[in-house]
Amino acid sequence: FYLLRDEPDVHFTFGSIQRGGVSNATQGMHSSKYCLNIAGDTPSSNRLFDAIASHCVPVIISDQIELPFEDIIDYSEFCIFVRNSDAVKEKFLINLIRGIGKEEWTRMWRKIQEVEKFFEFRYPSRDDDAVQLIWKSILKKVPAIKLKLHRSKRYSRTLDARVKKERSSLVVPPNFW
């Protein structure tokens, strides 16, 4: 924030829930080309989703962020990723953003409109909405979980009784296999 606060074409909206802060932030995101997504102290932060819903190109400042459905969605097509160490360099972020041309920004903006449906929870669920992508992600993880469980049984005959007892306490849903 401090590195960008004096830039003429950059604005920040602050506020609290009680004083219309949510409304101000939403309005600010809808009128912005880029929305800053700084790694927060909670993985449940909505900044990325708010940016996508606002059709605002997310600028994600994080080295280790885990994004939903990343095995399905290529976030590099509609987000700008900046390492923490680069983000704190003077003028780095603003020069990076200003270096993005109208054509590239428009391509990212259109991609946001395409992927927006992936983040919507609908009832009843539809193809490629958030519910379906959650199930697809789970389905992709099941083989790895099965593999790990099967490998853990390789030397079961040589394990002492204590380890066998610990393994038997592993809770697996009855319909897992």
pTM over 0.75: no
Q: Pick from 53, 51, 69: which is nearest to 61 by CA? A: 51
Helices of type H across the chain: 21-30, 47-53, 84-87, 92-98, 102-115, 130-152, 161-168
Distance CA 1, CA 5 (A): 6
Residue 25 or residue 84, greater confidence: 84
Give the β-pairing of 80-82 and 57-61: parallel
* Per-residue pLDDT tens over the stretch 101-148: 999 999 999 999 999 988 888 888 888 888 888 888 888 888 888 888
- Taking every pair of C-alpha atoms in the chain, what is the biggest distance, in angstroms? 70
Tokens 């049984």 sit on residue: 153
Quick one: average pLDDT of 82-106?
A: 91
Do residues 37 and 15 touch, judged by C-beta distance below 8 A? no
pLDDT tens-digit map of 29-63: 766 888 888 876 555 567 888 888 889 999 999 88
Name the CATH code of domain 21-119 (choices 3.40.50.2300, 3.40.50.2000, 3.40.710.10, 3.40.50.800).
Answer: 3.40.50.2000
